[in-house]
Amino acid sequence: MENHAKFVATEILNQLGGNRFIAMTGAKNFACFDENGDWGMVSHESEPTKESIVRQVPHNHPTIVIRKNALDQVDGYLEDVKLLRVEDYDLWVRLYASGYRGYNLNRILYHFRDNRDAIRRRTYRNRINEARVKVKAIRYLHLKKINYIYVLRPLIVGLLPTSVYRVFHRKNIRLKDNYNE
């Protein structure tokens, strides 16, 4: 485990050290588990663009390492009730709007418990906050107006019955049989 940690730390330092515009780096993938163990994986792009940031959250926030100077430049995390549960997403938008980029290592560094209780944490208020950050992303990143369609996604998903949501949610996650760490 210690050798793995050193290897990952070296990869992260190489990414951050090699390009001053890369402000953050972390894991591209995270594994989902429940009471029966690992069952799936969520994956993000290796090099998210400002155009892709409005489609989905571009980074797995628990794995991210951020340059302090970049974090300071955008005033760090903002605490606001309108950003509850999307503080990281808002930070990514502000970093990308300031000309920084992020990079996702092709590793699983995080295991996320995704069970019935996880769905309860996704309130409609949080969906509204996500839509607000998407609007902010479109404006701050000067994206085309067609991207406003992505603002509707969290609002529509929040209206789905839990049983329907579970089906769509599981379809977005690659099942364990289809990935290798």
**91-102 per-position pLDDT tens digit:** 999 999 999 999
Q: 103: which strand partners? A: 25
Q: Domain locations in the chain?
A: 2-173
Is 148 within 8 Å of 138 (Cβ atoms)?
Answer: yes
CA 96 vs CA 114, 119, 146, 181: distances in Å: 29, 29, 19, 29
- On the question of pLDDT at 1 being above 80, the answer is no
**119-158 per-position pLDDT tens digit:** 777 899 999 999 999 999 999 999 999 999 999 999 999 9
Q: Residue 95: which of 12, 16, 21, 19 has the closest Cα?
A: 21
Query: Does pTM surpass 0.85?
Result: yes
Q: 2-173 adopts what CATH topology?
A: Spore Coat Polysaccharide Biosynthesis Protein SpsA; Chain A (3.90.550)
